[in-house]
Amino acid sequence: DTGVSQDPRHKITKRGQNVTFRCDPISEHNRLYWYRQTLGQGPEFLTYFQNEAQLEKSRLLSDRFSAERPKGSFSTLEIQRTEQGDSAMYLCASSKVQGLQYTYEQYFGPGTRLTVT
Amino acid sequence: QQPVQSPQAVILREGEDAVINCSSSKALYSVHWYRQKHGEAPVFLMILLKGGEQKGHDKISASFNEKKQQSSLYLTASQLSYSGTYFCGTAQTGANNLFFGTGTRLTVIP
């Protein structure tokens, strides 16, 4: 098991372009999270999946952002019509969750650094 | 819902101790501590659950005061490898995601 992987590691795009990031969680982890992190800040929750179902999205998440997790394995995060304010590190994390209360550690991937010019 | 961490930054000499605090205005079920080194992903340290417990491994331990909705991370006899930014993540009862604080940057110097 090699941990959570993300691709690409770096992405530079022009304002207005669409970008897509991929996250491969640890196998058998049923929960997958997406976060955004800007310089000097902690990870900011964007959305999470339980298996293939997207169960929660942050109210701060613009309609330009969409995420999928087909078949409950890897996940993609797409940003449409990128803006300079979208520049950030996008982190993916996964957990193996059983039960109702959130008591499980999250394993983070290395992140995708997006720069919008 | 973002927890508040203090201090924002601290500089220690090797061997010194430090305490990092994390406070929430919401009733918490669990507090999660992570350390992130520059340019790397956050790495899990420990989880504390409602009920007011303490945990620790090696020279890093933490406590959770349920009445105050506050957790503290204790680093004793600091080593150079402890340098990084420490984040607490908090989960409310019934919640399925974490809200992270703004972090505490810890620098250990020789």
Q: How far apart, in whole angstroms, are the C-alpha atoms of residue B91 and residue B13?
A: 33
Kindly tell me if the per-residue pLDDT of B1 is higher than 80. no
Nearest CA in chain B to A110: B41
What pLDDT, on a 0 to 100 scale, did the predictor assign at position B50? 79
Distances (CA, A) of A34 to A24, A48, A84, A90, A92: 12, 6, 19, 7, 5
| Residue of B22, B31, B34, B26 whose CA lies nearest to B70 | B22
Q: Which of B41, B94, B102 sits opposite A91 (nearest CB)?
A: B41
If you search the block for the tokens 């929430």, which residue do you land on?
B24
B94 φ, ψ to 5°? 85, -5
Mean pLDDT score of chain A, rounded to an integer? Answer: 91
Antiparallel, parallel or unpaired: β A112-116 and A10-13? parallel
What pLDDT, on a 0 to 100 scale, did the predictor assign at position B52? 62
Give B12-38 pLDDT, tens digit per residue.
999 999 999 999 998 888 899 999 998
Residues of B in contact with A45 (CB under 8 A): 97-100
What pLDDT, on a 0 to 100 scale, did the predictor assign at position B29? 86
How many A-B residue pairs are in contact by the CB < 8 A criterion?
A: 66
Give B31-90 pLDDT, tens digit per residue.
999 999 988 889 999 989 877 666 677 789 999 988 889 999 999 999 999 999 999 999
What pLDDT, on a 0 to 100 scale, did the predictor assign at position B96? 77
Contact criterion met (CB below 8 Å) for B37 and B84: yes
| Residue of B86, B88, B58 whose CA lies nearest to B70 | B88
pLDDT-derived band of residue A59, with 50, 70 and 90 as boundaries? Answer: confident
pLDDT-derived band of residue A1, with 50, 70 and 90 as boundaries? Answer: low
Give A72-106 pLDDT, tens digit per residue.
899 999 999 999 999 999 999 999 877 655 667 88
